[in-house]
Copies of this chain bind each other. A is one copy, B any other.
Amino acid sequence: MTQELIAQYNYINDILKQQEIYTHACHVLQYDQETICPPKAMEEQGEVSAALGNMAFKLTKDPKFIEAAENLYAHRGELNSFDRALIDDLHRNYLKTKNITPEMNHEFSLVYNRAFVTWLEAKQKSDFSIFAPSLREVIEINKKDVSLREQALPVLYDNLLGDYERGLTSASLDECFGKCKERLLPLLEKIKNSKKVIRTDFLSRHADEDKQRKFARYLLELMRFDFERGSFTTSEHPFTDGLARNDVRITTHYHEDMFYANMYTVTHEGGHALFELLQPQENYDHHINGLKSMSMHESVSRFYENRIARSESFIRLVYPKLKELFPDVLGDVTERELYEAMNLVQPSLIRTEADEFTYTFHIIIRYEIEKEMLAGTVKVEDLPALWNEKYRQYLGVIVPSDREGILQDVHWTFGMGYFPTYALGNMYNAMYYNRLKNELDIDALVAAGDFDTINGWMAKNVFAKADRLSASEWIRDITGRDFTPDDFLDYLEAKYSAIYEL
C-alpha cells in the first residue's frame, strides 16, 4: 500500500473507533429497553438512542472519510481479506446511504422506535389496531429508504432481503420455499394421520421459574458459555446481543407451564453467543465483527438448538439433571418419551415455540405476507385476517387473538426482510452437519457433553470466515457445494419418518 492509502486507512480506523462509542451506547440502551427500562421511560430513551445513532451516522458523511473509503475500494485488491471485507462493506453502505441525510436517518430511527413502543402496547393489549398506524409508517419508511439507494435492485423486497443476507432474492426464495411446501406438506399430512402416539401429558406440568433458572445456568455451563465475557438474564422476547469484544449477552423467558421452552431458548441463544464469542479476534480489530449475515447466525443457533439439543444423545445427557430438578414433571417419564416429546410435530401458533418440522411454515407465512405488504396487495388493516387465514391453510390452526397471531414478533417494528433468514439457517446447518458427521462422532461427543470439541470444529470451519464472505461463498467454502434446501428436507424426512414410524 502507498503512504496515501495507509494514511487513509488510519483515518477510517479513527472514525470507526469514534463511531463505535455511539453504537456501543446504542446497544446498551437497546438492551436496557428490552430487559429493564420502565414502560413510560421507553420513548425518551428511544429518542436518546436515535440521537446517538444519528451521530454515528453523521460520521459516515464526513467527505474525507468517504474519499478514503472509496479510494481504498478502488485498491481493494491490495488489501488483506479482513480489510477487504471492511472496505467492501463501507462501499455497499455508501451506495445505500449516499442520498440519506442525517435528518432523514434520524426520522427513520424515531419511526422504528415509536413502532417498537406501540408494538409493545398492542401486544400487551392484544390489539393490532394500536400497532397498525406504526406499521404503515414502517412500510413507507422502508420504501422511501430503498427509493433513495444508488444501484437499487429492481424488485423492492429484494433490497430489504439483501440487508440481512447479501444477494438473497425473492425469486430464489420462491424456489426454495416451493420445494419445502412440495415435500413437507404431504409429509405433514402423513404425520397427522400416523398411528404413533407421542406422550404429551407431562409437557404442561408446573416447573418453578427458580428451578428453570438453575437449569438454564447448567445448560450454558455445559455449552461453555463464558460468563466472564457475557451475561444472562430474562426479557419478554429472548435475544442475543454481541455487544462488544468481551460482552455477549443472552436472554431467556420462563414459562412455568412449558419447562422445555426455556431449554430450547437457551440452547438457541447460547448458539448465537458462541458464534460471537468464538469468532476470530481480528474481526474486532478490523471492525468487521458485525458482518456475519443473519442466516449464518440462525444456522448456528439452530444447529445448537435443533441438531444438538433435540438429538437422542443430548436428551440422554441432560435427562438425569432434568429429572433431579423437576421430579414432579419427569418422575414417570422415560428418556425415550422425553426425546419423542421434544420432537413432537404439532402445528401451533407461536413461531418461537414451534417444532423443527412446522417451523418453516411460520416463516413461509411471514414471507408471503411481507411480499404482499410491500407490493400493496393487502391493506394493513386486513393483515390480521390474512395472517389468520394462512395459519389455517398451512398449519390448520385457528388464531384466537392478535397477541398469539400477528403481534407475536418484534421484527416488523424495524422493517421487512428478516424472517426468511430464520428458515435459511436450518438449511445451511443441514449442509454443514453432513460434513461434520463425516469428521466427528457427533453423537458420542454430545452424549459425553464434550462441547469443547464441537465448538472447536464450529469455530474452525463455520465461524472463522463468516464475516469475510457472503452466505453463498461461505456455505460453499464450508461444504464445497452450492446452497440447496435438499439436505434439510432429507434430514426432516428421515428423522420424522423414524419417529412417526411412517
Interface residues of A (CB under 8 A from B): 21, 24-25, 28-29, 31-32, 35-41, 44-45, 48, 51-52, 210, 227-231, 233, 243-249
22 inter-chain pairs at a CB distance below 8 angstroms, sorted by A residue, are A21-B48, A21-B51, A21-B52, A24-B45, A24-B48, A25-B25, A28-B29, A32-B32, A36-B233, A37-B247, A38-B227, A38-B246, A38-B248, A38-B249, A39-B228, A40-B246, A41-B243, A41-B245, A41-B246, A44-B244, A44-B245, A45-B247
Contacts of A249 in B (CB 8 A): 36, 38
Give A24's nearest chain B residue, CB to CB.
B48
**Cα distance A137–B197 when bound, in Å?**
70
**Cα distance A231–B36 when bound, in Å?**
7
The answer to whether A52 and B25 touch across the interface, beta carbons within 8 angstroms, is: yes
Give A43's nearest chain B residue, CB to CB.
B246
The complex is assembled from copies of this chain, and their number is 2
Further pairs besides A21-B48, A38-B249: 19, Cβ < 8 Å: A21-B52, A24-B44, A25-B29, A25-B48, A28-B45, A32-B32, A37-B231, A37-B247, A38-B229, A38-B230, A38-B231, A38-B248, A40-B228, A40-B229, A41-B244, A41-B246, A44-B244, A44-B246, A45-B244
Contacts of A51 in B (CB 8 A): 21
Indicate which residue in B32, B45, B48, B247 contacts A41 across the interface (CB closer than 8 Å). B247
Give A247's nearest chain B residue, CB to CB.
B41
**Cα distance A121–B247 when bound, in Å?**
18
Q: How far is the CB of A365 from chain B (nearest CB, A)?
A: 34
Give A39's nearest chain B residue, CB to CB.
B228
**Cα distance A29–B29 when bound, in Å?**
8
Contacts of A243 in B (CB 8 A): 41
Q: How far is the CB of A429 from chain B (nearest CB, A)?
A: 27
Q: Which 5 interchain pairs have the tightest Cβ spacing?
A: A41-B247, A40-B246, A41-B246, A25-B25, A24-B48
Indicate which residue in B41, B45, B245 contacts A229 across the interface (CB closer than 8 Å). B41
Give A243's nearest chain B residue, CB to CB.
B41
Give A41's nearest chain B residue, CB to CB.
B247
Contacts of A248 in B (CB 8 A): 38
Contacts of A45 in B (CB 8 A): 24, 28, 244, 247
Indicate which residue in B35, B38, B231, B245 contacts A228 across the interface (CB closer than 8 Å). B38
Contacts of A29 in B (CB 8 A): 25, 28
Q: How far is the CB of A213 from chain B (nearest CB, A)?
A: 10
**Cα distance A229–B38 when bound, in Å?**
5
**Cα distance A35–B232 when bound, in Å?**
11
With a 10 A CB-CB cut-off, give which of A31, A38, A245, A248 has the most chain B CB atoms: A38
**Cα distance A45–B32 when bound, in Å?**
14
Contacts of A231 in B (CB 8 A): 36-38
